[in-house]
Structure 1
Amino acid sequence: MGTENLLAVKSADRVFDLFELLAPRREGLSHTAIADALGIPKSSLTQLLKTAIRRGYVGYDPDTKHYRLGARFGAIAGPASLIRDLIAQADTVLQEITAVTRESSALNILRDDAAEVVAAVNSPQRLVSHMRLGDLAPLYATSGGKVILAHMREHELKAYLGRVTLRPSTPRTITSVRELRSQLKDIRQEGIARSLEEYTPGIIGVATVVLSRQQTPLASINVAIPAVRYTKDLETVAISALRKAASKLEARAQL
């Protein structure tokens, strides 16, 4: 390993050592105490702390002159913690949706550029769309994926559309970025997305989004309805159940 690489690794080690040192110390530590504990020159520590403070990973209390972990850690860990809470609460709300609609329902989260099923309740009827834990599907072709896309920040959506090819899963899959953007605009206004046999032939999906306090998408909830059973009346029932479920999960997520 070259000298430059060794220095880079050493610098990275110091950053992680700093975070691990401060993590259990809610009251923080002084500059001298940190330098002594890490065994690094005070001048080097000063530069490290300046960078960490600027990025929000370390906070400084001018009264005590102590350094502690910054708010940035909470911002990073928060969404993951919220999603774990949503998954833990999902079974109850999905059971309620399926009881009302008699159709399969699922909670989906963003996994790279796909929607992943993280909780599901299957329909009690003989003709059923099975949604299995861990299933991945294209965001642009599914109701649960499209409603997440519709609530992304513009720069996130633009980046997604720039790297993803809209490949057809069925003859009804949207393969035009312009058409998809137009649909996403309508979805954002209504708060409801539909997939009309765009991912699985014979299956119609209806979904809504679960938003964070900052109005960013945490997850989506969808109902999968065999096309032979789909009616506007059933869709109305499904949308009502989905919105109630999303409100319950959002209330939990924003506590």
Structure 2
Amino acid sequence: MAAEQNTQVKSADRVLDLFELLSRSSRGVSHSNIADRLGIPKSSLTPLLRNMVLRGYVILGADGRSYQLGPQLLKLVRIGRIASDLAKEATSFLQQATREIGETSAFNQLHDDQQEVVATVTGRHRLTTHMKVGEVAPLYATSGGKAMLALMPEDYRNDYYKRVQLEASTESTIVRRAALEKQLEEVRKTGVAYSFEEWTSGIVGVGVAVAGPDDFPIGSINFAIPAARYNEELGKNAARALKRCAADMGRLFDDFGGGFAKRSD
């Protein structure tokens, strides 16, 4: 087991060493030069470079012999910066949404297999819901979590279901995968997810996902509304406000080469 772990660490070090080396050369580095400078046998370097090229993390230079950093790696860096900026700027967007609807709003991001509240604004009503920064909740039981799940690729969701047990938090929690998938299909059509007292009794959630440049959810925004006040008209108004908020947040992507908020008008 120790030998296997050492091999895995060595392979990871080689990939990181390769990225660092290529980042210091704007004109690319040849196969032989990479092998010499990193001390990697050419027989091991060849398949490593082949895999990196296939996945877009490394590209061949114009001369066909040198290697450079690829667009996939740069895209990951860009997405990371977008996610960080959204978390910092979210409060101002949420304030506008809450002023419009009067309900408590939140911006959530993925935290392992859950959603985490990273920004929140409390509603103006006497009877209101309070969400706290740092709170985590299951994706399958919350409106913001469902909005993100709906955007994820099918293979990602399949892996998610293997890792996560759908457990009831309330009498209304959806605990059958087929029923949840049917709901997620509707979310993909409308752009809006709902949680009718599925995570917290007495609370209705309305959520919209915010997608990154590769369409993968970079977060979600949601309202948490007391069930005693919720009605169809309020739900529709909340959905429209969230879509506008998501569109406004999506404009932050322009500074990083494009991006958009996933929405349905």
**Same topology, TM > 0.5:** yes
CA distance in 1, matches of 2:74, 2:152: 21
Task: Tell which deviates more after alignment, 7-16 or 242-251.
Answer: 7-16
Shift of 1:57: 2.7
Match of 1:141 in 2: 141
Matches of 1:6 and 1:185 in 2, distance apart?
A: 43
In the other structure, the counterpart of 1:102 is: 102
Q: What's the CA shift for 1:90?
A: 1.2
TM-score normalised to structure 2 length: 0.84
Q: Following superposition of structure 1 onto structure 2, how do residues 217-228 of structure 1 map, counting pairs within 5 Å?
A: 217-228=217-228
Superposition pairs of residues 72-87 of structure 1, within 5 angstroms: 72-87=72-87
Equivalent position of 1:22 in the other structure: 22
1:38 has 2:38 as partner: yes
C-alpha distance in 1, partners of 2:5/2:169? Answer: 45
What is the Cα deviation at residue 136 of structure 1? 0.7
Return 5+ residue gaps in structure 1 as ranges.
none
Contact kept, 8 Å, 2:79 with 2:213, in 1: the verdict is no
Cα-to-partner distance string for 1:213-244 (whole Å, 9 max, x where unaligned): 44332211100111222233322221111010
TM-score by length of 1: 0.87
Deviation at 1:12, TM superposition (A): 4.2
CA RMSD in angstroms, aligned pairs only:
2.6
Q: Output the amino acid matched with 1:18.
A: L
Work out the percentage of aligned pairs sharing the same amino acid: 45
What secondary structure, in the 3-state scheme, does the structure 2 residue paired with 1:234 have?
helix
Kept in 2, the 8 Å contact 1:85–1:253? The answer is no
* 1:9 Cα offset (Å): 4.8
Aligned-partner Cα distance in 2 for 1:7–1:120: 44
Gaps of 5+ in 2: 259-265
DSSP-derived class of the 1:91 partner? helix
Residues 230-249 of structure 1: matches in 2 within 5 Å? 230-249=230-249
Q: Shift in Å at residue 161 of structure 1? A: 2.5
The residue type equivalent to 1:230 in the other structure is Y
Task: State the 1:51 CA deviation.
Answer: 4.1
C-alpha separation between the residues in 2 aligned to 1:164 and 1:64? Answer: 45
Return closer, same or farther for 1:85/1:46 CA change in 2, 3 Å cut-off. same
Q: Which runs of 4+ in 1 moved over 6 A?
A: 1-5
Shift in Å at residue 117 of structure 1?
0.9
Question: Residues 166-205 of structure 1, C-alpha deviation per residue, up to 9 Å, x if partnerless?
Answer: 2111111112222222222222211111111111111111
Q: How many residues align?
A: 255
Distance 1:184 1:63, change over 3 A: same
Q: Could you tell me which residue of structure 2 aligns to residue 161 of structure 1?
A: 161
**TM-superposed deviation, 1:63:** 2.2
Tell me how far 1:50 sits from its aligned partner: 3.6
Q: Does 1:187 align with 2:187?
A: yes
Deviating more after overlay: 6-15 vs 108-117: 6-15
Q: Describe the shift of the 1:223–1:66 C-alpha distance in structure 2 as closer, same or farther (beyond 3 A).
A: same
Change (3 A) 1:77 1:202: same
Asked if the contact 2:110–2:116 (Cα under 8 Å) also holds between the matched residues in 1, the reply is yes
